[in-house]
Chain A
Amino acid sequence: MLHILKACLMAAGFTLTVSGGARSQEMPPEFLLVSDADVEFLTTRGDIRHSDWSDAAERNLEAALSAELSDGGVVHASQRAGCFDEHDSRQVILLAQTIAVSVDEPRFTENLDGLTLGSGIAQLQACADFQRLALISHDASMASSGTMIVSVAAAALTGFNADRDQYSRTRLDVFDTRTGQLMTHIEVRGGDARSEEGATRIVSRLMSGWDQ
């Protein structure tokens, strides 16, 4: 789940981390960075969200993307964010997340024109000054060894490959704060964000597809 949402459940205080020492003092940070990861563990008894894996993936992806974007300055909506916990701010983040999922769904048009946070983006700017919202979201399913054995055995017996249950998908969505519009949507498949190295490789692939 989102850092933002988890923060709702925490009694901790509010901090914002701003990185990017090379920037002018007058310029606001370029990016508000929000990360979200949901990693499921596939077992023979069903699919379970793995909190530790999800937290690690979220943390690793945020760190990797932050390193890539730090030249322009990055504001992190971290786990201890307070202003971003408020209902109206959370709603904007949730809408951004919903838009990210919707880009690849059947829509009237293939372009990104209708995908916008509208005036809601101003709610986030009340928390911190920034120029673009960067949302990195990751979802993956990892199979247990028992599930793998069952899948392999089933494939050998039937010719049907049930191993398709395993997947990994990471999206980067960038919104313009002036209009609220989605400017960029990039998706990469594969990779394991549970490790720092894996997350760095995923982010590197995302960045290679992003024409900034």
Chain B
Amino acid sequence: MIRTPVLVLMALCLAACGTTGLQVPEGRLAPGAGFTVDISDDWAYRSPSSDQDMFGGYVTRDGVHLNRIHFVTLDDGDALLRPVANIERPVFLAKADEAEIAGLLTESLNIAGYSNMLAGTVQSVSVDGHVGIAFEIHGQSENGLDIKGYAAAFPVADQLHLVVFLAPELHYYDALYQSVQDLIRSVDLPD
């Protein structure tokens, strides 16, 4: 009997979400994060309220299951994941080291529905005068499809700025890798 009010609330939420549709960005975009990026004209943007699992906005070309670039800025103590009942979410701590930042992302993705997400070797990357880290990610989607990813993380002051690319390892990752690298190089971080 609790079902009906829950369903009514869900319908209201869906109606609200329906107002935040897919947009085709033009040029520079503040993608639901504390930084801006240049989006080429063949990506479509969805605002942060479109993602039920993670904070931040994302762009996709062929649908979120085939390719997505996710953008988010976390403050000290923030979680990447939205609250879920009875699940303890990993949080970003300003004092986190490289391995802990990589672990925050992979653990969050595993909770969000991916499985066996692991980070590769962490490398140093420099963008907009800020030094950050970058690493590959490997794992599987819910249906077992091998997923490959590339993440760039920039700790600035007590914030962490994240760009995360996820795509099936088969075809899509390699096909979009260069476009993702161009996008990461275009990141304009706050001073």
Contact = CB atoms under 8 A, between A and B. Distances in A.
Contacts of A119: 171
B62 A180 contact: no
B8 A158 contact: yes
B95 interface: no
B1 A108 contact: no
Interface string A108-133: 10000011111110000000000000
Contact of A95 (B21, B42, B44, B145): B145
Contacts of A117: 170-171
A106 B60 contact: yes
Nearest to B5: A158
B131 interface: no
A74 to B, nearest CB: 24
Contacts of B86: none
Contact of B62 (A92, A107, A150, A160): A107
Interface string B136-154: 0000010111100000000
A154 B144 contact: no
A97 B65 CA distance: 11
| Size class of the contact patch on chain B | 20 to 34
Given A108-B24, A154-B4, A102 B63 contact: yes
B115 to A, nearest CB: 13
Contact of A160 (B1, B4, B169): B4
A17 to B, nearest CB: 25
Q: Tell me whether chain B's interface is mostly helix, strand or loop, or mixed.
A: loop
B30 interface: no
B170 A91 contact: yes
A96 to B, nearest CB: 10
A107 B144 contact: no
A114 B65 contact: no
Contact of A107 (B4, B61, B169, B175): B61
A162 B4 contact: yes
Contacts of B87: none
Contact of B144 (A90, A157, A160, A180): A90
16 contacts: A94-B143, A95-B145, A98-B66, A106-B60, A107-B60, A108-B24, A108-B44, A108-B60, A114-B66, A117-B170, A117-B171, A120-B170, A150-B3, A160-B4, A160-B11, A180-B171
Interface of B: 1, 3-4, 7-8, 11, 21-22, 24, 42-44, 46, 60-66, 141, 143-146, 168-172, 175
7 closest A-B pairs by beta carbon, nearest first, are A118-B171, A102-B63, A106-B22, A154-B4, A105-B63, A94-B145, A108-B44
